[in-house]
Amino acid sequence: MTANANNGKSDRSLFLIHLLTAVGAPLALLALIAGANGDLAQMFFWLLVSLFVDGIDGPLARHYDLAKRLPRWSGVILDLVIDYATYVFLPAFALYQSGVLPEWMALAGGCLIVFTGAIYFADGDMKTKTGGFSGFPGVWNMVIAVIIGLQVPVAVSVVLIVGCSILTFVPLEFVHPVRTKMWRPLTLVVLAIWTTGLWISFANDFIISGAVYGVITATSLYLLCVGGVQQLVIWRHENG
């Protein structure tokens, strides 16, 4: 009986992991307030913090098997709600606020982002066997950060937004930096370099050297394309 009581107490303490996930909600509010005040650097700082939280709460939840031990509370739903706000809705808002596109284009692009993101987040088959995602996984926080951080030309921005929206529904694989095991150390290093480069851009009001511009571009291309390359490597290995 004591053992059962201890088990119950231990399970209840695991609710702290759900609370960690829920921290993403106030972080989203802080990001929204910063963006509404025109401080995009601070906005993406809070979105970066929420990205870090999202990177650690999932592994903890899976390690302690929260779905089975705390069945009343759905970590999956909680995570999706917060991810939609921080990965999709707020980046669309940032695009509109940034001025990198004419107002009507920014509004149209934002509507496309939140629409396709909503459809994708309802996809029960979004995750792949390798730990990645099938189709562009709605990480608009990363795409919009690059568009703003590099002050990407209008035509290229439109191609990126429309292209990623289309890729949402294409069975092309995209990596999850933590869950995808293949080349994971390299991917995490690239992600760290990408984050640093973008932070330099935002901290300096988007005035950066050619070297920083090149680093952000190269690391962005790696993160965008590495999943498809891995998918091709695995396919070729399985088919001789």
What was the pLDDT predicted at 115?
A: 97
Question: Nearest CA to 49 among 102, 90, 10, 6?
Answer: 90
Give the pLDDT score at 17: 82
Q: If you average pLDDT over residues 40-68, what whole number do you get?
A: 83
Two structure tokens written together for 29 = 């509010």
Asked if residue 102 has pLDDT above 90, the reply is: yes
- Regarding pTM above 0.85, the answer is yes
Give pLDDT tens digits for 14-30.
Answer: 877 888 888 999 999 99
pLDDT band for 178, please (50, 70, 90 cuts).
confident
Count structural domains, the chain: 1
pLDDT of residue 2: 46
pLDDT of residue 6: 45
- Residue 192 contacts residue 184 (beta carbons within 8 Å): no
> Can you tell me whether residue 151 is helix, strand or coil?
coil
Q: What is the mean pLDDT of residues 53-78?
A: 77
Residue 178 structural domain: 2-238
Q: Which helix (H) or strand (E) holds 12?
A: helix 2-13
Amino acid at 195: T
Q: Tokens 């511009």 belong to which residue?
A: 213
The per-residue pLDDT for 3 is 44
Query: What is the pLDDT at residue 56?
Result: 80
What's the pLDDT band for 1 if we cut at 50, 70, 90? very low
User: How far apart are alpha carbons 82 and 95 in whole angstroms?
Assistant: 19
CA distance 68 to 39: 42
| Percent of the chain at pLDDT exceeding 90 | 66
Give the mean pLDDT of 220-234: 95
d(CA 147, CA 23): 27
* 52-66, 170-184, 209-223: segment of lowest average pLDDT: 52-66
